[in-house]
Amino acid sequence: MVSWIKSMRFKSGNLLNERVEIQKEIFEDIKKSHEEWKAAHCMFEEAVEQDQIDYAIFILEAAERRYQMHLRRAKSYGVVGTTQDCVNDTPYNNLAKRVEGSH
C-alpha cells in the first residue's frame, strides 16, 4: 500500500512537471510568434512597391494567424499569464503615438 502511494506521488509530480514544461513551451511560442508579427508589421510599413506590399500583407496575415493560434492553444491548456507588456509594445500603439505626435 505504501509503495502504491509513493508511486502515485511520483506520477503526479511527473505530470505536474510535464504540464509546467508544456506551459513554458507555449509561452515561448507566443513570445516568438509575437516578435515575428512585429517584424512582419515593420516589413509592411517599409514596403514601397506593389509586389513588396502584397508580400508584406501575406507575411503579416500569416504571422497574425500564427500568433492567434498560439493564444488559442494557451487558452485550451489553461495557461494563465499576462500579455500586458507585449500589448504595450505593439506596432499599432507605436503608430498611434506617431500619429498623435504629428498633429
Q: What share of the chain is helix, strand, coil (3-state, %, to 5)?
A: 85, 0, 15
Question: In the numeric block, which cell numbers belong to residue 96?
Answer: 498611434
Q: CA 5, CA 62: separation in Å to the nearest integer?
A: 49
pTM: 0.62
pLDDT in tens, 51-67: 999 999 999 999 999 99
* Predicted local confidence at residue 60, as pLDDT: 95
* Torsion angle defined by CA atoms of residues 9, 12, 17 and 20, in that order, rounded to the nearest 10 degrees: -140
- The residue with greater pLDDT, 68 or 94, is 68
pLDDT in tens, 79-102: 776 555 444 444 444 433 333 344
Q: CA 94, CA 82: separation in Å to the nearest integer?
A: 20
